[in-house]
Amino acid sequence: MTSGTRGGFLHAAFGLRLRSSFALPELPRLPDDGFATDVVIERGRVPERLEGAVGVEPAMQVAADRFQLDVPAGRFSVSAGRLILVDPRPGASDADLRPYLLGTVMGALCHQRALLPLHAAAVLIGDGAVAFIGPSGAGKSTLAARFLGRGRGVLADDLLAVDIGPDGSPLALPGLARIRLRADSPDAGDGKVSVPIASPAGARAWPLRRLYLLHTEGADPPQVCRLHGPEAVSAVLGQVYRWPIAAAMGGRVAFAQCLALAAHCEVFQVSFTHAAPSPEALVETLEVHLAP
C-alpha cells in the first residue's frame, strides 16, 4: 500500500523518498515501511510574493534555499529541498497541478538538494546509463520509446537527475515512471501522449557513461562526433533543467557539476534530421555506436 497510518502516498523519484498528500501516478510507488521520508508534498497556502526573492521569470521567484512558482493551476513553493507546498486555484484538479509539480517544481527541488537536473531522457546500456540531451522537440522521448521497444530499460524522461560523487563521477537517478510523447509521434499510439513504464531500476543509481546531444539540423544519414573540452562543457550547460533557477542561487554549484560531468562522461553530438526517410536510422546509428 502507498498510504499508511501517517497518511499520504509514498513515492520514489531521483533517489528520494517522497510522501505526498495526493497520489502521483507518474512516480513509482513505495511500501510504507517506516523509513524516513526525504521530501514532503502537501497542500498549503503559498503567498503571492516570496520575501527577499529574485524574480527569475514572470512565474518564478528564488530566494536562498526557497523557490516559488505561480501558474494558472496554482502556486507552488519549495523550501530547503525538503518541503513542497501546493496551493491550488479554485477549480484546479490534481491532473492540472501534476505537470508543474513533476516538472519545474522537481527541477527546483533538485537544484536545492545539489542534484544536477538535465533536460534529458536516459536508458540503461549494460551496467550503466546513457542520456540523450537537447531542447524540446529534439526527439529525446521518442528515442527513449524506441529503445524501450528494443528491450532497453528507461531510467528517466524529460528530467534526469544526476548525482556527482565525491570523486566527480556522475550517477544517473531514476525519474518518472512514464515516457511523454508528442501527440503526433508514431510511438504515442492511439492519441496517447503519456506512456507508463515499469522502472527496471528501483531506487538504484546507475553510472552515467555517455551524453548524446541531439542536433536536428544535421545529417542524413545520422553522424556522431565526440565533443571535448569547452564544447563538451557548453553542451552540458546548455541542457541544465531550469538553469535560471540555478543562476539565481549563485550558479557555482551547478557550474561545477557540469564541469565534473563533462570531465568524467563521454559527450557526443548526434547530427540528424527529422526529415530523414526512416526514424529507425537514428536508433540503428546509436545502437552501433553504443556497441562495446
Q: Which of 93, 113, 133 is the last residue of a domain?
A: 113
| pLDDT for 186 | 44
Which residues have C-beta within 8 Å of that of residue 113, sequence separation ≥ 6?
16, 81
Residue among 180, 174, 183, 185 nearest 195 (CA):
180
With cell 521567484, the residue in question is 61
Do 159 and 193 belong to one domain?
yes
Q: Please check whether residue 128 lies inside any domain of the structure.
A: yes
Q: The C-alpha cell of 150 is what?
A: 528494443
CA distances from 58 to 70, 109, 181 (A): 8, 19, 27
Q: How many domains does the chain have?
A: 2
Provide the pLDDT for residue 277: 65
Q: What's the CATH code of the domain at 161? A: 3.40.50.300
CA separation for the pair 72, 49 (Å, rounded): 16
pLDDT tens digits for 192-249? Answer: 467 777 655 456 899 999 999 999 887 788 999 999 999 999 999 999 999 999 999 9
Choose among 99, 122, 11, 76: nearest CA to 245.
76
| Those residues with Cβ within 8 angstroms of residue 88's Cβ, 6 or more apart along the chain or in another chain | 43, 73, 74, 96, 97
Is 23 part of a structural domain of the chain? yes
- Asked if residue 267 and residue 134 are part of one domain, the reply reads yes
Q: 108 and 132, same structural domain?
A: no
Quote the pTM value. 0.91
Rounded to 5°, the CA angle 148-152-153 comes to 85
- Residue 24's nearest CA partner among 113, 110, 95, 122 is 95
Place of cell 531500476: 201
Quote the cell numbers at residue 234.
Answer: 557548453
Same domain for 270 and 147: yes
Query: Which residue segment(s) compose the domain that 172 sits in?
Result: 117-290
Q: Are residues 104 and 129 in the same domain?
A: no
Same domain, 62 and 142: no
**Distances from the Cα of 186 to the Cαs of 54, 127, 182, 197, 238, in angstroms?**
42, 30, 9, 17, 28
Predicted confidence at residue 188, as pLDDT, reads 40
- pLDDT tens-digit readout, 41-52: 999 999 999 999
Confidence at residue 5, expressed as pLDDT on a 0 to 100 scale: 35
- Please say which residue of 113, 138, 169 terminates a domain: 113
The reply to whether 1 falls in a domain is no
Are residues 241 and 127 part of one domain?
Answer: yes
Last residue of a domain, one of 80, 113, 146: 113
Return d(Cα 205, Cα 226) in angstroms, integer: 25
Nearest one of 276, 243, 240, 286 to 60, comparing CA atoms: 243
> In the structure grid, which three cell numbers stand for residue 244, read together?
535560471
Residue 2 lies in a domain: no
State which residues of the chain have pLDDT below 50: 1-5, 185-192, 201
Residue 234 parent element (H or E): helix 229-237
